[in-house]
Amino acid sequence: MNKELLEALNILEKEKEISKETLFEAIENSLMTACKNHFGKADNITVQIDRETCDFLCYATKEIVATPEEVEDDVLQICIDDAVKISKKAVIGETINVEIKSKEFGRIATQNAKNVILQKIREEERSVVYNQFYEKEKDVVTGIVQRYSGRNISIDLGKADALLNESEQVKGEVFRPTERIKVYIVEVKNTPKGPKIMVSRTHPELVKRLFEAEVTEIKDGTVEIMSIAREAGSRTKIAVRTNNPNVDAVGACVGINGARVNAIVEELRGEKIDIVNWDENPGNFIQNALSPAKIVAVFADPDEKTAKVVVPDYQLSLAIGKEGQNARLAARLTGYKIDIKSETQAKDAEGFRYEDYMYDEEGDVYYEEDEYIEEEVVEEAAEETEE
């Protein structure tokens, strides 16, 4: 029996990842519970289990009294005649350990002991699963779609189920049972029924983690993701940079023939992804963020976190984007409130001067594609304003 018990404990430790020491403690506690149920108390009872052989010893420490008549509680006391049968060194007034045979326990006591062990195993199993997924909080995992619970989706993550709430689902995405999908673990809560895992398909960090998994340069720190703006299911803008002059940050994320970014787009069911270079110069960064629109000039106010942008007339709708999406995402990406005007609108505006727009690090007037505005153009614009 001892050999079989040891094998069972080894299997539990391997499959459930519950330490044998925890299981031994659970067995000891169950025997203590059985003693309490059988005798009514267990204050003087000790249980010991040999961790190597699984031999166990259960005994009660009793006070030795002179005669049977003096025994007021046979759980706590024993007469000298009975004590001598156990040990010839027994002395009145001292204590002696009396072995308890577990076979003497009744059916109810035995059942309660069994329940204590099973309860401890369940608690430890839930704890192990909770710890495993708590470590994965704010990370991406692959799960299998199980079923729809109303408008929510149950996702099988292996040792636990996760809940993809309707609010965390991308509008228009429909999943079939047994379909494998990647989800972002938003939060893991420990509950009496086990860990409650909340996941998301809309979180911007999902895109970030997918890039970290797909792009080696991001994983090893050569390329850094500086900011992300996402409208799930439609478009995402991501700003990247590198301190290595030999590495093209955007190119690394795109991959050969777009292989890397396409893999992420496929996982996101066709969501468009714009990858732009991050720049310390807010004017340059805003220009990059408004890609693919061409920019004539930018004036950024770092203190107010506002920016005025001038684009060619024919690029205005592209810069703003459908329903304002391009401008909205660029604003989130850069952290600036962006006011976009066409050249015509800008020139018609009172007090407009080209030199107010976009300065490089040296404070020189900056123009599209790193070209400086010719002085006569600036003067011309100033004259038009004065008129």
Same domain, 288 and 270: no
Same domain, 263 and 179: no
Could you say which of 111, 131, 151 is where a domain stops?
Answer: 131
Give backbone dihedrals phi and psi of 140, rounded to 5 degrees, phi first: -105, 135
Same domain, 290 and 365: yes
Could you say which of 109, 131, 153 is where a domain stops?
Answer: 131
| Mean pLDDT over the full length of the chain | 83
DSSP 206-220: HHHHHHHHH-HHHHT
Is 80 exceeded by the pLDDT of residue 371? no
1 band by pLDDT with thresholds 50, 70 and 90:
low
pLDDT tens digit string along 49-85? 887 877 778 888 888 888 888 888 888 888 888 888 8
pLDDT tens digit string along 211-258? 999 999 999 999 999 999 999 999 999 999 999 999 999 999 999 999
Is 60 exceeded by the pLDDT of residue 384? no
In our burial notation (b when 16+ CB lie closer than 10 A, e otherwise), range 273-310 reads bbbbbbbebbbbbbbbbbbebebbbbbbeeeeeebbbb
Please state whether the predicted TM-score (pTM) of the whole model is above 0.85: no
Same domain, 113 and 24: yes
Cα-based distances in Å from 301 to 309, 328, 337, 383: 12, 18, 10, 25
pLDDT tens digit string along 252-274? 999 999 999 999 999 999 999 99
CATH of the domain at 291: 3.30.300.20
> Containing domain of residue 244, as a range?
203-278
* Euclidean distance between CA atoms 59 and 95, whole angstroms: 12
Same domain, 155 and 236: no
Same domain, 263 and 165: no
Same domain, 284 and 346: yes
More confident residue, 387 or 145: 145
170: amino acid identity, one letter: V
Same domain, 7 and 115: yes
Is 70 exceeded by the pLDDT of residue 182? yes
pLDDT tens digit string along 117-132? 788 888 888 888 899 8
Is 90 exceeded by the pLDDT of residue 365? no
Same domain, 162 and 79: no
Could you say which of 252, 278, 304 is where a domain stops?
Answer: 278
Quote the percentage of the chain above a pLDDT of 90. Answer: 44
Through-space distance between the first and last CA atoms of the chain, rounded to whole angstroms: 104
Query: Lowest-pLDDT range, 132-146, 281-295, 342-356, 359-373?
Result: 359-373
Our count of domains for the chain comes to 4
Same domain, 357 and 308: yes
Same domain, 9 and 108: yes
